Amino acid sequence: MGVLICSMVALALICQSHSLGAKDPLHRFKRYQESSYSDPNECSKTRPALILANPNNFSLDIRMPSVIPTASESYLCVAVPVPTGRESYVVDFVPHATMDTAHHMLLYGCREPFSATGYWDCGGNQGTCEDEAKIIYAWARNAPPTKLPRDVGFKVGGDSRITYFVLQIHYGDIAAFQDHHRDCSGLTLRMTSKPQPFVAGMYLMMSVDTVIPPGKKVTNADIACTYRSYPMYAFAFRTHTHRLGQVVSGYRVRDGKWTLIGRQSPQLPQAFYPASSPVEVRYADKLAARCVFTGEGKSSATYIGGTSDDEMCNFYIMYYMDRRHAVPYMNCMESGDSELFQGIPKEANMPVPISPDMAAMMHGHAHHMGAKSSPMSHSEDSGLLQPKREEEEVLDQGFHLAEVEDWPEVQLTLGQVSGLALDSDDNLVIFHRGDHRWGVSSFDSRFEYQQRSLGPIQQSTILLVDPAKGTVLKASGRNMFYLPHGITTDKDNNYWVTDVALHQVFKLGSDGSDKPQVVLGRPFEPGSDTSHFCQPTDVAVDPLTGNVYVSDGYCNARILKFSPEGKYLAHWGAGSADRRKRVQFRIPHSLAFLPDRREVCVADRENGRIQCFLADTGEFVKEIKKAEFGDEVFAVSYAPDHGGLIYAVNGAPPYGQSAPRGFVINYSTKELLDSFSPDTQEFKMPHDIVVTGDGSVFVGDAATDAVIKFVSDEKAEHRSVKKGGIEVQEIEETETFVQTQLKPLLKGAIQSAPAAAPAVPAAPAAAAAAAPHLQHQVAASHKTPPPTPLKEEGTAKAKPEGGARRDAEGVSPALVTTLLLIPLVVVIAIGVFIRWRKTRMYGDDCEVKLEPGSSGGILGKLRGKAGGGLNLGNFFASHKGYSRKGFDRLSTEGSDQEKDDEEATDSENEEYSAPPPPPPVPSSSS
């Protein structure tokens, strides 16, 4: 029997190890989480090359395969095939490298790499690609991850002519390899097969003939070209020089006016920083860039070249274009005309101040910081905190919102919950989509609704609900709406609602009549003038004047103001004439009116912030932006209690690093007072939030088709104790046993319970969720000997030692053997099943092998060496003053900005949004 058991154990381990598919990059692993700045030299760690997050989203790991550079200024390359033949999109770049090891990394896309197996020396006579190489990504100086805006991606596979990725790493100084350790630097690409409305591209501006005289304090390198293509929208930029670069700036020049795209010190982490606002570049515009160098301390002239002792002047523009005529790569290498540059703003020659955070990143500490603390992030605006008003009450330090687990007491049949509101009696109003869903095929590229044939929603889309029990008091809104979104009430309890499919706003009477009293916008006609909307999101009503405020929305990025009768009064945001215009809205998604302050606050979703404005004039008042919000704020609500409280919910971060949450913020000080989430379920897409007069909070979740109620933990505990006491009486005669799956209603209750808390008797789920101190009460009521103390969740009840011994004596060897064999059989069955599934899904020959291969020399090229390609080594060798000794290994680089995982962005329960370009080009989603 022992031999049999050992044999089966060995067989189980072999099957399990094989099923893990350590050598198979296409195995369906559960997605792992890895720090963006984890040790790149940890080559012993086995990493799956491809990780599938869900059917549409996946991650591709591209690393150097345990290389040891043998000479300084080495350029090594490795090629990895695009993992799918159909078109897919790169939406996120996560670097795994440090500046102590790698001078820079470049990622190219092409059809024919120089080598499809192993790695090679791409710094001699050979290049990166046999055909045209397109730069997709660049990194240097501990730059943080780069994340693209929603609905934007670099297109690969399909008809893109990109079937391979080629990673090039420049190892500047091999002193870092004196201990002969191996390097596995590289990056992770996060990708989606969902078609993106906008295709990202790279525009490289590069000086080719600048000479920096020794000792000269200031030398300018100017580059300028006339743009000759379809409109593009520059949303991010990156600067690159070597040690002598002081500042690099890039501009669009139109009709003599210089518009800044970006300006940064190249000595900071060389990330892709967001443009101050998306800059539209049209045919015949000029693009201009200037690099400022200093030759002080140098004894000889410095030329443009690829080694660390040479210099470079690069300004990268990351842009997006409409997918119908997107160009993935463009460049400009023409010296700027001196007459043109007479008009360049003086800022182009002013140094960029370096903050302590940026300095820390520059000195290699960026790997201790999350992407949110990169120079791009701003946790607060720069305004001084307002003093606390004397009449302002302060919430108790122990205040916390907890879920009411048994609400609603009756089942609510809901579709996607898009909006919540309250009437004058604090009854809850729910706006939902019935059997209609907002999905990827709901709209075309012009934001026109594509599912009109379904007809309007036949279910009642507006439900008036008792906030205490959840029972429906009144239902209306049948056969009226196609895709509901926002809802609010006025002082007469009329409903004001938006429909993103109809592109309209409606006022409905409080009597439940389905005939609108006011209609704004034209049905199914998106537009950006004062009589059209484009996917309007929410409405707020001034209770004093009756004026109506509309957030518009997914396409137009503005707020409009109307009279109670629907007459247009004003607007601000995109397209307005406000000279003090701040950063443009990126999907103003939710509105809240502050009656005691006469302000309107907006959840600016994709900018991850809340902004407040004077209701009468639209004048900016304040911004609330917290690191805890992450990248998205979906909804905002307001309560005048305690001097003014802001309630908000955020969205799920990309690839599910953490769950979304709700927040309570002090309006005056912007202090974060509380964050909360459900205990019995998860927020998937919390879409709207309201707070009642007694402090109860309701959150509507569009992904789970649910409304969740929260109350302060003090109220929740009182309710739980009362309910638990009733149920204890009902089960007094029930047999006592140890409940191993006990889940407390209040967060932290188990932690605060005494170590030897007695177990509760069998009871319905609600009783099991009662506060821990109830356990003592229950145990006492049974007058039974105290049971064994609770262990951690999932552990079995321990028997008294003597009883255990007596049980063991009566167990036969055959039974013991059987019990040992059962788990082994289960493990073997699972391993065989996983292997069979993997073979069925992917086949057995799908490995991506990254084995060290032959090296040879190869001239680094920006655009390959095939016919028509631009070999920069040969090109620059013919230019006067060019230093051949290094530029043959072209040095270019970059990183930082954002997309979602299937549940967060690609499921049919999810909202799709495009980055809002400057008017008139719109954006999209739910």
Give catalytic status of residue 242 as yes or no.
yes
Exactly one of 312, 321, 376, 685 is catalytic; which is it?
312
Q: How many CB atoms lie within 10 A of CB 5?
A: 13
Q: Is the peptide bond before 553 cis (omega within 30 degrees of 0)?
A: yes
Q: Inform me whether the pLDDT recorded for 743 exceeds 60.
A: no
Q: DSSP 3-state assignment of 449?
A: strand
Q: Hey, what are 435's tokens?
A: 């059997």
User: Tokens 């189980």 map to which residue?
Assistant: 12
DSSP letter at 797? P
Alpha helices, DSSP H only, in 589-730?
713-730
Type of residue found at 450: Q
Query: Residue 512: which of 497, 494, 487, 486 has the closest Cα?
Result: 494
> Residue for token digits 């893109």?
160
The average pLDDT across 468-487 equals 96
Spatial distance between the Cα atoms of 107 and 84, rounded to a whole number of angstroms: 18
Please state, in angstroms and rounded to a whole number, the distance separating the CA atoms of residues 302 and 244. Answer: 9
Is a pLDDT exceeding 80 seen at residue 906?
no
pLDDT of residue 35: 33
Higher-confidence residue of 168 and 902: namely 168
Which residues does residue 287 pair with via DSSP β-bridges, in sequence order? 225, 252
Radius of gyration of the chain (CA): 31
Residue closest to 265 by CA, chosen among 124, 194, 170, 361 = 361
Look over the chain and give the mean of its residue pLDDT values, rounded to a whole number: 75
Q: Give the residue, 904 or 446, on which the prediction is more confident.
A: 446
Distance CA 385, CA 285 (A): 42
Q: Tell me the HSE value of 378 on the side-chain side, using a 13 A CA sphere.
A: 14
Tokens matching residue 587? 């999907």
Please state whether beta strands 219-226 and 286-293 pair in parallel, antiparallel, or not at all (unpaired).
Answer: antiparallel
**Helix 813-842, helix 2-19: angle, nearest 10:** 20
Q: Rounded to an integer, what distance in angstroms lies between the CA atom of residue 242 and that of residue 914?
A: 35
Give me the phi and psi of 285, to 5 degrees please: -65, 160
Q: What are phi and psi of 872, to 5 degrees?
A: -65, -25
- pTM equals 0.45
Catalytic residue among 103, 571, 589, 782: 103
- Per residue in 608-643, pLDDT (tens digit) is 999 999 999 999 999 999 989 988 999 999 999 888
Is 240 labeled as catalytic in the residue annotation? Answer: yes
- Given 96, 240, 485, 782, the catalytic residue: 240
Calculate mean pLDDT across residues 303-323.
Answer: 91
**Catalytic one of 96, 170, 400, 571:** 170
CB-neighbour burial class of residue 618 (10 A; exposed 0-12, middle 13-18, buried 19+): middle
Q: Tens digit of pLDDT for each residue in 790-837?
A: 333 333 333 333 343 334 344 455 565 666 677 777 767 777 666 655
Nearest to 404 by CA among 720, 660, 637, 647: 720
Is residue 203 over pLDDT 60?
yes
Select the more confidently predicted residue: 317 or 323.
317
Please, which pLDDT band fits residue 145 given cuts at 50, 70 and 90? confident
Cα–Cα distance, 845 to 116 (Å, whole number): 16
Phi, psi of 535 (to 5 degrees): 55, 65
Residue 438, C-beta contacts closer than 8 angstroms, at least 6 positions apart: 416, 483, 500, 908, 910, 911, 912, 925, 926
pLDDT band at 45 (very low <50, low <70, confident <90, very high): low
Residues in contact with 443: Cβ distance below 8 Å, sequence separation at least 6, in sequence order = 449, 450, 912, 924
Token duo for residue 341: 């540059």
Q: Predicted confidence band at 353 (pLDDT cuts at 50, 70, 90)?
A: confident
Q: Is 758 helix (H, G, I), strand (E, B) or coil?
A: coil
Using an 8 Å Cβ cutoff, are 74 and 177 in contact? Answer: no
Q: What is the pLDDT of residues 93-136, one digit of tens each?
A: 999 998 888 988 999 999 999 998 889 999 766 789 988 888 89
The tokens 């209770």 sit on which residue?
A: 543
The pLDDT of residue 306 is: 78
Q: pLDDT for 763-779, tens place per residue? A: 333 333 333 333 333 33
Distance of CA 98 to the CA centre of its chain: 23
Is the N-terminal amide bond of 269 cis, ω within 30° of 0? no
pLDDT of residue 255 exceeding 90: yes
Q: How far is CA 81 from CA 100, 109, 869, in A?
A: 28, 10, 21
Pair 702, 434: CB distance under 8 Å: no
pLDDT in tens, 676-707: 999 999 999 999 999 999 999 999 999 999 99
Local structure of residue 183 (DSSP, 8 states): B
Spatial distance between the Cα atoms of 681 and 855, rounded to a whole number of angstroms: 54
How far apart CA 832 and CA 826 sit, in angstroms, is 10
How would you list the strands of the sheet with 134-140, edge to edge?
119-121, 74-81, 164-171, 104-110, 134-140
Q: Which residue in the list 96, 104, 485, 571 is annotated as catalytic? A: 104
Structure tokens at 195: 């078609």
Write the DSSP symbol of residue 914: -
Both tokens of 557, joined, read 């990025």
Q: What is the pLDDT of residue 510?
A: 80
Q: What are phi and psi of 346, to 5 degrees?
A: -65, -25
Set 27, 64, 168, 642: catalytic member: 168
More confident residue, 721 or 162: 162
Catalytic annotation on 104? yes
Q: Is there a cis peptide before residue 408, judged by omega within 30 degrees of 0?
A: yes
Q: What is the pLDDT of residues 264-283, one digit of tens each?
A: 999 888 778 888 778 999 99
Q: What is the pLDDT of residue 777?
A: 35
The pLDDT tens digits of the residues spanning 487-543 come to 999 999 999 999 999 999 999 998 878 789 999 999 999 999 999 999 999 999 999
Q: Regarding predicted confidence, which is higher, 788 or 605?
A: 605
170 in catalytic set: yes
Can you tell me the mean pLDDT for 443-457?
A: 94
Tokens of 241: 């020089």
State the pLDDT at residue 144: 82
Q: Is 103 a catalytic residue?
A: yes
Q: How far is CA 859 from the centre of its chain?
A: 38
CB contact set of 800 (below 8 Å; sequence gap of 6+): none
Which tokens sit at 301? 């002239």
pLDDT in tens, 214-249: 999 999 999 999 999 999 999 999 999 999 999 999
Other beta carbons within 10 angstroms of residue 801's beta carbon come to 8
Q: Is the pLDDT of residue 745 over 70?
A: no
Question: Residue 84: is its pLDDT beyond 60?
Answer: yes
Which one of the listed residues 27, 96, 242, 642 is annotated catalytic? Answer: 242
